[in-house]
Structure 1
């Protein structure tokens, strides 16, 4: 199979990345509905709908904003504005969705944690989307730097690069089963599963950024890495709790 993978169906080139992106949203949502039916959701249906709406709006804004900050432009031209509309990143979507949920919960007066039900659908959605990122090669900014290691692959530009999308697929599979194990074997407070997911995924992305060809840095860190630090600061109380529990052993 050649990368970028651009199948032709009935004479039309299919954007496989876009197809898998929409498929990821659909399957992840259906998985969420399935899990909600099989679990005891402490949040009412109306409030849950408001939370989902807040998450969607926050994710939309956050994904575009952080996507722009990965490679910010100076001139507000029509071409740059179109590029802004097409630029997005899952990292901004996750953190923006988190803030959107917290805002929605404050508006409706909901105090219960709401994130745990989203964890596994999010992982599944990211996994499907990353398959599309890999298949589209260097046409999407999810590829790695040029490398001489055995992992190097030609992603469409003739150079051997780190297939960072594949690395992420492996990580997501491991994370899925580790979180499933924690959910079954360890008594977690409501909302802690989501926090562990966020901290784990953002830690992975912080590390993987070092082998991506970023062009915009602040204090030696890419925009994504700065967002990772912000996420860790957001959950500093939970991190401090983990550190204290380890010290007490």
Structure 2
């Protein structure tokens, strides 16, 4: 198998990344439904639906805005405008979804934490999507810088690069196991989602240095700046983590 992997079925080239992206949404949602049935959800159905809608709208807008800022392309024709609309990133989706949820909860007056049920479906969805990113090679901006290390792989341009998507797949497996073990300790509601966000954004902050990024401010990319904003959002939780560690 060569990368980018572009299978041909009935003389049509299949976009494997797009298929896995839709599959990620489907499986993640079905997993969420399964977990909700197994869990006593104290949030009413109507409020939960409002929260999901807020998350979806926030994720849509956030993924597009941060995706554009990651690699700004100013439209000069219809084609470039469509490219901008299709540019997205999971980081913007996660943080935009978080803001969308908080706004929806404020509107409907819901006080309870709602994120823990989403944690494991989100990880599963990202995992499936990253498989598509890896198979797409240099067609997706999830490849790394050129490297002479043994982990270097030819992702489609004949150069040995860091396989960033594979690094993330390994990290997501470890994160899933860690958070599942943490969940069994009957921690306070809402903490699990905070741990997920802090862990994943920390990983992405570090891994961005291995990508051929455009670094805008203080040697940081737009994704890394978003990570810092996330740290500010969760600064109380981060301080508690350091306090407990000491």
Could you tell me the TM-score, scaled by structure 2's length? 0.97
Equivalenced residues, count: 246
SS of equivalent residue, structure 1 residue 156? coil
TM-aligned CA deviation for residue 74 of structure 1: 4.5
Is the 1:164–1:208 contact (alpha carbons within 8 Å) kept by the matching residues of 2?
Answer: yes
CA-CA distance at 1:166 after TM superposition: 0.3
1:224 matched to 2:215? The reply is: no
Determine the structure 2 residue equivalent to 1:99: 99
Q: Give the Cα separation in 1 of the matches to 2:76 and 2:49.
A: 36
Shift of 1:242: 1.9
What secondary structure, in the 3-state scheme, does the structure 2 residue paired with 1:146 have?
A: coil
**Per-residue Cα deviation, 1:48-103 (whole angstroms, up to 9, x for no partner):** 00000000000000000000000113455434321211100000000000000000
The Cα shift of 1:42 comes to: 1.1
Aligned to 1:189: 188
Give the aligned partner of residue 211 of structure 1.
210
Spell out the pairing of 1:140-159 with structure 2 (5 A cutoff).
Answer: 140-159=140-159
CA-CA distance at 1:159 after TM superposition: 0.5
The whole-number CA distance in structure 2 between the counterparts of 1:201 and 1:242 is: 15
Equivalent pair of 1:216/1:223 in contact (CA under 8 Å): yes
**Aligned partners of 2:88, 2:216: CA distance in 1, in Å?**
18
Which runs of 5 or more structure 1 residues have no equivalent in the other structure?
none
Q: Which residue in the other structure is 1:171 paired with?
A: 171
- Over 3 Å counting, the alpha-carbon distance change for 1:191 and 1:76 in structure 2 is farther
Q: Are 1:59 and 1:93, in contact at CA under 8 Å, matched by a contact in 2?
A: yes
What do you get for the CA RMSD once the two structures are aligned? 1.1
Q: 1:151 deviation in Å?
A: 0.3
**What 5-or-longer segments of structure 2 have no aligned partner?**
none
Contact 1:137 1:155 in 2 (8 A): yes
Moved more, 64-73 or 32-41: 64-73
Write out per-residue CA displacement over residues 14-46 of structure 1, whole angstroms, 9 at most, x where no aligned residue. 000000000000000000000000000110111
In 2, are the aligned partners of 1:71 and 1:216 still within 8 Å (CA)?
Answer: no
User: 1:216 offset after TM fit, Å?
Assistant: 4.0
Q: Distance in 2 between matches of 1:93 and 1:212?
A: 20
Q: Tell whether the 8 Å contact from 2:74 to 2:80 is kept in structure 1 after alignment.
A: no
* SS in structure 2 of the partner of residue 218 of structure 1: coil
Deviation at residue 240 of structure 1 after TM alignment: 1.5
Conserved in 2, the CA contact under 8 Å of 1:70 and 1:222?
A: yes
2:44 counterpart of 1:8 = no
Q: Are positions 1:51 and 2:76 aligned together?
A: no
TM-score between both structures, scaled by the size of structure 1: 0.96
* Contact map agreement 1:70 1:216 (CA 8 A) in 2: no
CA distance in 2, matches of 1:64, 1:199: 21
Whole-angstrom CA distance in 1 between matches of 2:214 and 2:109 = 42
